[in-house]
Structure formats: structure tokens, C-alpha cells
Chains A and B, each alone.
Chain A
Amino acid sequence: MTRISMTVDGTRYEDETEPRLLLVHHLSDRPGLTGTPVGCDTGNCGACAVELDGESVKSCSVLAVQTGGGEVTTVQGLARDGEWTPLRTDFHEQYALQCGYCTPGMIMAARDLLRENPDPTPEEIRHGLEGNLCRCTGYQNIVRAVLAAAAEERRRRAPAPPPADTARAAGQRPAAPPDTARQEART
């Protein structure tokens, strides 16, 4: 057994694990985070995607011991206080899920994609999500959902227009987005 520590969805865990244990199995067996499904166990399908230190990884291709004290974010850790993120809302509104098994991985991979490219074309979305398979084959609507979420994220991040003429006259900088908008944009 090997001693490991990691922060998962904001909670610090210390544990002992077998060196052979995959991160995805560790997440469901120990902290009980069953929201990250195992689709193929071979790195093909991407359903188990989570973030490790801010980058999307397939958690069936990472050993629990490889987290090395790092920070893991699963689909269950995305919205605090039950608030939906733009990706969640748009997956719902654009009918981007049917059985929903690939959805956690799609959302985590799409987050990574939008972080690198906040304004992707449909082609760039298809390329960015090629490591994630949807066996219901709902790709059209998944691309639509990511496009819509990207637009919403950009809208939230855009600086608010200066209030009235007085701001411009006084040479003030445009107001920064309120704290809430910044927090939402991260999720």
C-alpha cells in the first residue's frame, strides 16, 4: 500500500492505496464520487475525464498514486450551491445528451477546450472533443451546446460597459466584471 494525498472537488483526502489502482476507481471507491463513469477502461472513450491540476485527463489512464498531492476536479465539483454552469445549461437546452453516460467526460473535456480556445469553430470543437465518444451519436447537438456555452462564457467575461457618460468623461476604466461573474466563469 502506498500513502497518497489529493484534493478532490475542494476536499483534501489522505489515503492508502494499492499502486495499481486507477484514479477513476479510487474516486468511486474511496471518496464515493460515482459521478465519473468508466466507459471503456482503455482510454478510448473519454467518459471518465476529470481535471488534474487544471488539465483534462482520462482518469482510467492515470493511477491514483500519480496525482501526487495534486488537485482533482470531477463533474460533481463543478457547481457549488447547486448552480448550473453554462456547459450544463447548454447541454440540457441543446439536447446534447440522451443516455448521459458520456456527459461528465464531454463537459470536462469541453471545459479544457474552452479554456484554451474561448471562441472555437464547430470544426475546432469536433477536433477538441475527438477523444470523447458518444454512443448515442449525439455529436451535432454536443457541438451546438459547446458553441452556445462558449458564447455565454465570453458574454460573462466581457467587461461591463461603462455606466453612462460620466465614466467616459472622467476617463475611468470600464468596470471590472462583478465577483459573481468571475466565479461562474471558472465553473
Chain B
Amino acid sequence: MTGPAATEKPRPEAGRSRTRKEDARLVTGRTAWTDNISVPGPPHLAILRSPMVHARIDRVDVSPALERPGAIAAFTGRDLAGEPGPVPCVWPVTEDIVMPDHPAVAVDEVRYAGEPVAASTTSGR
């Protein structure tokens, strides 16, 4: 008695290793991650940063930025303080870790040189 398995030839693809086609660009650092994609004429974001290491913010006036051609928006830390609020720590490594509020843009006080104080966005540069 011979079943079909005895006479059937193995399918040529089954059980064979296939090397991946996408590796060449990945192992050479030449792939296009979404962060690397640039589209024509995107809006630009400019960030004003603190020159001071630690200082109180008395006043930030973003209205001149809104008068520039192509202005889309300009905002201070105070504008963002309610919503979306501080940047969460997504990886508290211990239970007793101290997690002070970390605003994306400084509110009332800057705590390091280079901390964002205000931001504006325009269409084109």
C-alpha cells in the first residue's frame, strides 16, 4: 500500500531557510526611520531656552512671535501648565523614587541652563 506521501515530492519552499531582504539597509544604518523622513515645507518649531541656571520667570511675552509672517502658534510654560501638564516619568525604577514635576516648558521657574521657556511655530522658517 502506498499513500500519497510516498510518491509526492517535497515542496521546494517548505523547510528552507530564507535570508531576509530588508537587512542590507538595516545593518548599514541606511534605513529611513520615521524620524529621518523629511517632507517639503513642514512647520518649524523654535524653542527659547534659559541662559540662566536657576531663576524665577517674571514675565514672558510671546506676542511678537505671533506677528511674524507664517506664525501658527506661540506659547509659554504657563500656557501648557494645565493641559497637558508635566511630563510623566514612565519608568519609576524604585518605589521610593522622587519624581518632581517636570514641565515640558518651564513654569514660573527655570532649573537648568537650556530649559525651554517658550516655543513658537511657523510655516516655513
Contacts and interface: CB of A to CB of B under 8 A. Distances in A.
Interface in A1-45: 18, 20, 28, 33-38
Residue from the set A18, A33, A78, A92 with the largest chain B CB neighbour count within 10 Å = A92
B28 interface: yes
Contact of B19 (A36, A74, A92): A92
Most chain A beta-carbon neighbours within 10 Å: one of B23, B33, B35: B23
What is the size category of the interface that chain A forms with chain B? 20 to 34
A98 to B, nearest CB: 9
B36 A34 contact: yes
The B interface, classified by DSSP as helix, strand, loop or mixed, is loop
A28 B31 contact: no
Interface string B15-40: 00001101110111111010110000
A79 B22 contact: no
A75 B26 CA distance: 10
Given A20-B114, A28-B36, A34-B36, A100 B28 contact: no
B33 A34 contact: yes
A100 B36 contact: no
A101 B33 contact: yes
A118 to B, nearest CB: 21
Interface in B89-103: none
B14 to A, nearest CB: 18
**Would you list the 4 A-B pairs with minimal beta carbon distance, nearest first?**
A35-B29, A100-B26, A75-B29, A20-B114
Interface of A: 18, 20, 28, 33-38, 74-76, 78-79, 84, 88, 91-93, 95, 97, 100-101, 103-104, 107
